[in-house]
Amino acid sequence: MAIIIQLDVMMAKRKIGLMELAEKINITPANLSILKNNKAKAIRLSTLDEICKALDCQPGDIIEYVKEDEDERQN
């Protein structure tokens, strides 16, 4: 997938752990872990909003688009 979630980077910058952030944004630690480990297929805008509020960041600070090569898309 060409969209990369870099939540772990922003969490490290803000010195906040998974459990603390999950509690702040009212999401299960398991679901937050899926986001953090770039395994999610989708993210609700309301969840993104809560993450940005809790981490005092912009969506672009945690979401990145990386262009894929044609060969990578076929695999």
Architecture per CATH, domain 3-74, reads as Orthogonal Bundle (1.10)
Query: What is the tens place of the pLDDT at every residue in 7-59?
Result: 999 999 999 999 999 999 999 999 999 999 999 999 999 999 999 999 999 99
Q: Are 37 and 11 in contact (CB under 8 A)?
A: no
Residue ranges per domain, the chain?
Answer: 3-74
What lies within 8 Å, CB to CB, of 46 at 6+ separation is: none
User: What is the spatial distance between Cα 58 and Cα 67, in angstroms, rounded to a whole number?
Assistant: 21
Q: Model-level pTM?
A: 0.83
* pLDDT at residue 4 in the model: 92
Where does the pLDDT of residue 73 fall: very low under 50, low under 70, confident under 90, or very high at 90 and above? low
